[in-house]
Chains A and B, each alone.
Chain A
Amino acid sequence: MKRIGLDIGSTTIKCIVMDEEGNILFDSYRRHFSKISENAGNTLNEIADNFPNEEMLLSVSGSAGMGIATDLNLPFAQEVYATRTAVNRRLPGTDVVIELGGEDAKILFLTDGVEVRMNGSCAGGTGAFIDQMATLMNVSPDELDQLAADYSKIYTIASRCGVFAKSDIQPLINQGARKEDIAASILRAVVNQTISGLAQGREIKGNILYLGGPLTFFPQLRIAFDKVLGCEGACPNESLYFVAMGAAYSKDSVVVNPKELSKKAEGYSATGGYVSCPCLFKDEKDYADFITRHENDSANIKSINAPEGKMYLGIDAGSTTIKALLCDENGNIFNTLYCSNSGNPVPIVKDYLDNLYEKYPEINIVSAAVTGYGEDIIRNAFRLDNGIVETVAHYTAAKKFLPDVDFIIDIGGQDIKCFKIRNGTIDSLFLNEACSSGCGSFLQTFAGVLGYDMDKFSEMALYAERPVDLGSRCTVFMNSSVKQAQKDGAGIENIAAGLCISVVKNALYKVIRCASPDQLGKNIVVQGGTFLNNAVLRAFEQEIGCNVIRPHISGLMGAYGAALYAQEKAKNKQKSSILTAEELKNFTHTVKATSCNGCSNHCRLTINTFDGGRSFIAGNRCDRPLKSSKNKVDYNLYAYKYGLLDKLRHDEIDTSKSTVGIPMGLNMYELLPFWYAAFKSLGFNVVVSGESTHKLYVKGQSTIPSDTVCYPAKLLHGHIEDLIEKQVDAVFYPCMSYNVNESLGHNHYNCPVVAYYPKVIAANVKALAKTDFIGEFIGIHDRKEFAPHFGKILAAHGHVFSAAQLKAAAKAAYNAYDEHMAAVRTKGDEYLDLAKKEGLPVIILAGRPYHVDPEINHGIDRLICELGAVVITEDSVSDKQKRFPTTVLNQWTYHSRLYAAAKFVTENEDLNLSLVQLVSFGCGLDAVTTDEARSILESKNKLYTQIKIDEITNLGAVKIRLRSLFAMLNGGK
């Protein structure tokens, strides 16, 4: 009897019919746009047409196949398992299978111990991810692949999840990086994601097979895999159908009549058993009233049809769109532009200006300003008069509509920005962190995946009767929630409405983290392109339970604010410095990619050169490549502390002695002086692993067992590999439940990751087997107990020392540690004095010791210095505080320092102090500490700023945050 394998994936349906010898007689591949039952029915119909009146054996597989299989009472073959079955049958001798699907990534190890890995709930680098990225670049996925063939360099793109990658790519696009390079970098990110997420310590080698849609359709992706793996994988003819074949082989298959089953499948609809939210609009009148109310709110700002008198230009070069307009002296609006930036804002602005000059040669532009991600490049390219921080631009515009506005929320393509206004200045700024997208492009992407354009999609949402309750989660989670909702029978309009509601919930509960809507304010202005979507606007009003103002130019508020700002700044100016019509004719723009060699970060730079010698460098994390500011001295305690530790790296090796290697990561960023002195005193050579770089990270990425652990921990794998390469005799990396006791809290624990990461290293870094690994438990909090315990551990590794030797080593170690901390604190005091004398603002950049690693902090310390502030560390002031009551359990040493530093800020009004907290993504403890630090600071009306960092960080967003902070400190100016 013939066999059918039906593979219902997250985005496509694959189906084959084969005979008893395994010859494929029929195959079909179609996108299902989430209309699973309909498309499954069609597929079966086709089979019935090709093989009339024939009964066959059938099994279902695929990530979206489980629901339909259960409901139609058909056998289900788990898809990874199905792949394995098919590969074993058809291509025996295969060692490793790499299979990428629409939303899944899998690696199967078939020889030397079968292991099967599939991506967890936090992993998006798959087919859907490539589609998303292509949309972002305004090309088709195939074009993306073709572009990648001509790359000249690879940018580092976060490989953890799609949302992260997106925020890396956006700045590259805005900075004018070559599309070819971005495309290749995207594919490389997919490769890195697959390897770091799924290999988990196993080497990928031997006969490798590439399966699934993306690897079939994108030859450049296969090449990228080949390159990284250092071998050549094969992509067989039926590479799309292995899951389907595996299902067909399943011995659980049952006999079906395809024609009948097709009818059953088409008629099948799930029961509607999903959780729903209240509908958005009861009826058409409800909707009409809503529209009228919002139109009236914007009645006082007029549009004009021709320029008259003095005109002011505002441009908002946002993350996905570019907006521009002009206004007259009364704030009336003229000639608006709102379009996708298509990955390069420069030509769009040029066209806009060309048109403007052509149609209105007499136009009198008095002043021009730009805001947004592309601020710098646009300002340089077109010689605009002013640049302005986005937050200030939005406030300026909102005031025009509602003078006593006290809360503004802006949801754009990529960003959510919310801020409160207090006493006429911006206060408490919330930005979405890299992990929670839920913005305009999120809706757009989903509309695309489901096969609709954005307008149609939001229109459908309006009258949905039972919107799906999708919660407030990041895009990756949302994909599977939508899948589940579809399985539960939610129609497209209910999903559309559900997504609109989730955008709102995401903003309220994830970004702003408000417990109740009345915390927001009384006079609320909502803006940003996403609020033009009436379903989102309505959902917002419903969720907070009151009416808000949405300006009719909601999507243009940044540009409008910039124009108003230009007007404000113009004063007696007669003419803007913007390129004239004549100059614009000779406009040229060339882009060159290069690397900066200013420091170990080796930032990938894009150098934009315009006619007349104007240029703009992007991609830099600090101003080193911009020669202008070479003479300035930074007061940067991060750099000082890093320097102290770095000194211990350059030791001469005495070949007659045994060598201990110490990985420079996590708590070693504080304890290195301690261990260094201890081992030196006992007569060892001490080798410290090299500086952290992304390259070093990649070296260790295949041995990381948990892809959601923080980046500082992940980096440790690279440091261990580095020590192994340096051929040390032993690697010393002990477990420490307890940290030093500074009497600032209830206890003095380390976080679980810092405490026990040596265990993860020992269990997962295979190459370590040949090196002695000293990873026992030790405490240094009890100065009396340390020496004998240390001695016992060393003795177990064959290094026996006398009690006197150990005592001397302990003494040396504690002295070195005390001196190190004292040096940091003395320097900190010095900087505080200097700041006081020179009247400089001081930022306590509060993190953990390992945040001084430039690969971890991404040069944020230097960025702050550039903005004119003094940077000190949390541990340089925490010793000035006594233990005080907190509203959380204060039991981790590093975090006790954070609370103490926050307290210090509130108690030293004479210094211009602020605290900025660095939070590593995935740090669970910071879910506790950030709110506490905020409440300590806010209890004394101090600002709290948090910056989330990961493998890669979106420095554009960090800059906005910091510039807004400085704007707030200066009273909104």
Chain B
Amino acid sequence: MSAEFTKEMKATHEILAPDIFPTHMSLIKELFAMYGYKVTILKNTGKDVIDTGLKYLHNDMCYPAICAVGQQLYALESGEYDLNKVALVQFQTGGGCRASNYIWLLRKALKNLNMEHVPVISLSFSGVEKSSGFKVTPMMLFKGLMAIVYGDLLMLLRNQVRPYEVNEGETLKLVEKWNEELISQFRKNKGLVGKSLRKNMHDIAKSFSEIPRRDVKKTKVGIVGEIYVKYSPFGNNGLEDFLFSQDCEFMVPGVLPFFQTMFANAETDYELYGGSKLTKRIYKFVEKRVETLETIMLDTLKEFPEFVAPSKFEHVKELGEKVIGRGVKMGEGWLLPAEIAELVESGYSNVVCAQPFGCLPNHIVGKGVIRTIKEMYPTANICPVDYDAGASKVNQENRIKLMLAIAKEEEES
């Protein structure tokens, strides 16, 4: 059995995390720092990282595992870190998808590398496993979700402003500025209560709205998909950059709904199969608390009608029920098709559905429901793209180009 992350290690060990949500990770990292954990977000990418993943994991394992575990193992093998003062962290959802096995496979790989003494932390809300030195308290969880809301807002504004900016680079600079500002607030334990959250949100939105923008027409594209390849440029071959180069404005639904879905599913499970009423109530309570965060963001965005705001999660849930049924909970579950529907409703009727090659839940919630969505929304122009260590960028971009050609035709007619 591999090493446990003990209380003492908190002071001595650097925790290496894969870069799951590139826009959000710098804030999340700060949050861990507030609780005394030294987290480093791994930025290594490239073929060597993939090869390391392929070498130590089963090659038919999902691509996100190859990327994320690859990043960590590559870092350990690089010699840059003192192996006695380093730990790894993986996010674990604990669902019926094979993704809940990442952490186990990582440990197996460590064993093959004779690095079993490197502790692996499971970051999960469902308590799949516990370690003495690492605990997510309800407060920490809540603050974590706040960091995610900030990230979601920054991502949303960046995506809607950058394609139209007059002065090239201004938007990204502003994102950077806000990241620094928030980090410095977090370090002072500020910015994480209702009032300052509200103020920050408002200031952020206002500052983006003040960036001078051109009035030009861009093709509006939504991005949904498996959680890793949806956000990570390493996982999706720089999908956002490609769309940007093709004169598109893209909308990527936020990270918060992914967590909201997890809480909502506990309730659904109770309805469908029975079980503990108490668990259901706890999750219902958490869900409600998270909703207050969501409301702050949506209220802020109401003041700036030039931005397309995300739908309320309640509405996303309804869409999920309509499109596929909310009992479908493995992987991204019903959220994925619900997001496609939401995007189409918000005017992003061209949607790239990014999925790892051979992803099991995506047989159901991705390719499986496209037909239903097209029947519900005849204008939906959906392009599933598979990502994999062996898939070539040319083919992926070619498929997206087809989607864009149809989109342009629609715009003109």
Residues of chain A having any CB pair with chain B under 8 Å: 63, 66-67, 76-81, 113-114, 116, 118, 120-122, 200-201, 275, 469, 471-474, 477-478, 480-481, 483-484, 487, 509-510, 513, 515-516, 705-706, 708-709, 713, 735, 737-738, 746-747, 749-753, 755-757, 759-760, 763-764, 776-779, 781-782, 784-785, 789, 885, 887-889, 891-892, 922, 924-928, 930-931
With A471-B389, A752-B97, A891-B96 given, is the CB distance from A759 to B328 under 8 Å?
A: yes
A755 CB contact (under 8 Å) in B1, B96, B113, B273: B96
User: Is the Cβ of B363 less than 8 Å from the Cβ of A777?
Assistant: no
**Taking A201-B371, A509-B55, A763-B371 as contacts, is the C-beta distance between A78 and B405 under 8 angstroms?**
yes
Question: A63: which B residues are within 8 A, CB to CB?
Answer: 394-395, 398
- The minimal Cβ–Cβ distance linking A361 to chain B, given in whole angstroms, is 55
Residues 377-405 of B, flagged 1 when their CB comes within 8 A of A and 0 if not, give 01000001010111111110111011011
Provide the residues of chain A in CB contact with B364, threshold 8 Å. Answer: 752-753, 756-757, 759-760
Within 8 A of A (CB), among B110-130: 111-113, 128
Binds A, one of B20-28, B99-107, B228-236: B99-107
A12 to chain B, nearest CB (A): 17
Please name all residues of chain A whose beta carbon is closer than 8 Å to the beta carbon of B367 when the two chains form the complex.
705-706
B358–A922 CB distance below 8 A: yes
Please give me the 8 A-B residue pairs with the lowest Cβ-Cβ distance, nearest first. A473-B390, A785-B274, A777-B327, A749-B96, A779-B273, A477-B390, A81-B405, A480-B392
Residue of B nearest to A250 (CB): B405
Q: Which residues of B contact A755 (CB under 8 A)?
A: 96, 328, 330
- What is the minimal beta-carbon distance from B388 to any residue of chain A, in angstroms? 7
CB pair A764–B104 under 8 Å, yes or no, is no
Question: Is A760 a contact of B392 with CB atoms below 8 Å?
Answer: no
* A and B contact pairs by CB, cutoff 8 A, 7 listed: A63-B398, A81-B409, A121-B357, A478-B390, A480-B391, A889-B104, A928-B98
Asked if B104 and A887 sit within 8 Å, CB to CB, the answer is yes
Choose among B100, B368, B394 the residue that contacts A764 (Cβ–Cβ < 8 A). B368
A484-B371 in contact given A472-B54, A928-B58 (Cβ < 8 Å): no
- The answer to whether A887 and B360 touch (CB under 8 A), given A472-B54, A784-B274, is no
Q: Which of B172-208 contact A (CB under 8 A)?
A: none
Are A471 and B390 neighbours in the complex by a CB distance under 8 Å?
A: yes
Whether the pair A738, B273 counts as a contact (CB closer than 8 A) is yes
Q: Which of B107, B273, B394, B406 contacts A887 (CB 8 A)?
A: B107
B61 interface residue per 8 A CB criterion = yes
Instruction: Establish whether residues B361 and A752, one from each chain, have CB atoms under 8 Å apart when the complex forms.
Output: yes
A273 to chain B, nearest CB (A): 12
Given contacts A67-B394, A480-B394, A487-B394, contact A928 B360 (CB under 8 A): no
How many whole Å from A675's CB to the nearest CB in chain B? 17
Whether a CB of chain A sits under 8 angstroms from the CB of B59 is yes
CB 8 Å contact bits of B71-82 with A (1 = contact, 0 = none): 000000000000
The CA-CA distance from A922 to B367 in the complex, in Å, is 15
Instruction: Give the chain B neighbours of A473 by CB distance below 8 A.
Output: 389-390
Residue of A nearest to B108 (CB): A887
Among residues of A, the one whose C-beta sits closest to the C-beta of B367 is A706
**With a CB–CB cut-off of 8 A, which chain B residues contact A118?**
399, 402
Q: Which residue of chain B has its CB nearest to the CB of A885?
A: B1
Q: Which of B47, B60, B273 contacts A782 (CB 8 A)?
A: B273
The answer for the CA separation of A474 and B59 in the assembled complex, in Å, is 12
Q: How far is the CB of A334 from chain B (nearest CB, A)?
A: 43
**Cα-based distance from A684 to B364 in the complex (angstroms):** 30
**Cα–Cα distance between A107 and B128 once the two chains are bound (Å):** 46
B84-103 contacts to A, CB under 8 A, are: 95-98, 100-101, 103
Cβ of B55: which chain A residues have Cβ within 8 Å of it?
A: 509, 515
Please judge, given known A-B contacts A513-B59, A763-B372, whether A713 and B105 are in contact too, CB under 8 Å. no
CB-CB under 8 A from B156, the residues of chain A are none
Chain A residues in 8 Å Cβ range of B327? 735, 737, 776-777
Check A892/B389 contact, CB under 8 A, given A887-B107, A924-B360: no
> Who on chain A is nearest to B272 by CB?
A777
Return chain A residues, CB-CB under 8 Å to B366: 706
Q: Contacts of B112 on A, CB cut-off 8 Å?
A: 515-516
Given contacts A752-B364, A928-B105, contact A116 B274 (CB under 8 A): no
CB distance from B269 to the nearest CB of A (A): 8
Taken together as a complex, chains A and B put the C-alpha atoms of A487 and B393 apart, in Å, by: 11
B residues less than 8 Å from A478 (CB atoms):
390
Q: Is the CB of B398 within 8 A of A66?
A: yes
Distance from A239 Cβ to chain B, minimum over Cβ atoms (Å)? 21
Report the minimal beta-carbon distance from A767 to chain B, rounded to whole angstroms: 13
Min distance, Cβ A689 to any Cβ of chain B, angstroms: 20
Are A924 and B56 interface neighbours, CB within 8 A? Answer: no
Looking at B47, B386, B394, the one whose CB has the most chain A CB atoms below 10 A away is: B394
| Contact between A759 and B368, CB atoms less than 8 A apart | yes
A116-B406, A888-B105 as given contacts; A709 in contact with B273, CB under 8 Å: no
In the assembled complex, the CB of A440 is this many whole angstroms from the nearest CB of chain B, namely 20
Do residues A752 and B58 form an inter-chain contact, with CB atoms below 8 A? no
Whether B341 is near chain A, meaning CB under 8 Å from some CB there, is no
**B386 cross-chain contacts in A, Cβ below 8 A:** 120-122
B392 touches A275 (CB 8 A): no
User: Which residues from chain B contact A785 at a C-beta distance below 8 Å?
Assistant: 273-275
Contact between A789 and B272, CB atoms less than 8 A apart? yes
Given contacts A122-B357, A750-B96, A930-B58, 16 further A-B contacts (CB under 8 A): A63-B395, A63-B398, A121-B390, A200-B371, A477-B391, A480-B391, A480-B394, A705-B371, A747-B96, A753-B360, A759-B325, A776-B327, A779-B274, A892-B96, A924-B360, A928-B101
Cβ contact within 8 Å between B406 and A81: yes
A284 → chain B, closest Cβ, in Å?
A: 30
Query: A473-B390, A752-B364, A782-B273 in contact; A737/B357 too (CB < 8 A)?
Result: no
Please report the C-alpha to C-alpha distance between residue A844 and residue B357 in the assembled complex, in whole angstroms: 31
Which one of B54, B97, B362, B394 contacts A66 once the chains associate, using CB atoms below 8 Å? B394
Contact with A along B26-63 (1 / 0, CB 8 A): 00000000000000000000010001001110111110
Q: Is the Cβ of A927 less than 8 Å from the Cβ of B98?
A: yes
Asked if residues B47 and A789 are in contact (CB atoms below 8 Å), the reply is no
**How many angstroms between the C-alpha atoms of A471 and B388 in the bound complex?**
12
Cβ of A406 to closest chain B Cβ, rounded Å: 20
In the complex, the answer to whether A779 meets B272 with C-beta atoms within 8 Å is yes
* Complex interface residues of chain B between 124 and 164 (CB less than 8 A to chain A): 128
Residue contact B394 to A924, C-beta cutoff 8 Å: no
> In the assembled complex, how far is the CB of residue A66 from the closest CB belonging to chain B, in whole angstroms?
6
B329 is an interface residue with CB less than 8 A from chain A: yes
For the complex, is B324 an interface residue (Cβ under 8 Å from A)?
A: yes
Across-interface contacts of A708 in B (CB, < 8 A): 357-358, 363
Cross-chain contact B274 with A782 (CB below 8 angstroms): yes
**Shortest Cβ distance from B274 into chain A, in angstroms?**
3
B58 engages A759 (CB within 8 Å): no
Could you tell me the distance in whole angstroms from the C-beta of A833 to the nearest C-beta in chain B? 37
Contacts of B109 in A (CB 8 A): 515
Given contacts A483-B392, A782-B273, A789-B272, contact A77 B405 (CB under 8 A): yes
B330 and A752 form a contact (CB under 8 A): yes
Q: How far is the CA of A747 from the CA of B93 in the complex (A)?
A: 13
Over the window 271-288 of chain B, the binary record of Cβ atoms lying under 8 Å from chain A Cβ atoms (1 yes, 0 no) is 011110000000000000
B322-368: which residues lie under 8 A (CB-CB) from chain A? 324-325, 327-331, 357-368
B134 nearest CB across to chain A (Å): 18
B211 at the interface (CB under 8 A from A): no
Report yes or no: B330 in contact with A737, Cβ–Cβ below 8 A.
Answer: yes
| Cα–Cα, bound, A713→B47 (Å) | 34
A515–B404 CA distance with the chains assembled, in angstroms: 42
Chain A neighbourhood of B1, CB < 8 A: 885
Q: Does B316 contact A (CB under 8 A)?
A: no
A913, chain B: closest CB distance, angstroms: 25
A480–B404 Cα gap in the complex (Å)?
22
- Residues of A within 8 Å of B266, CB to CB, are none
Residue of A nearest to B54 (CB): A509
Contact yes or no, A515 B56, CB < 8 A: yes
In the complex formed, the residue of A with least CB distance to B384 is A120
Given contacts A889-B104, A927-B98, contact A752 B399 (CB under 8 A): no
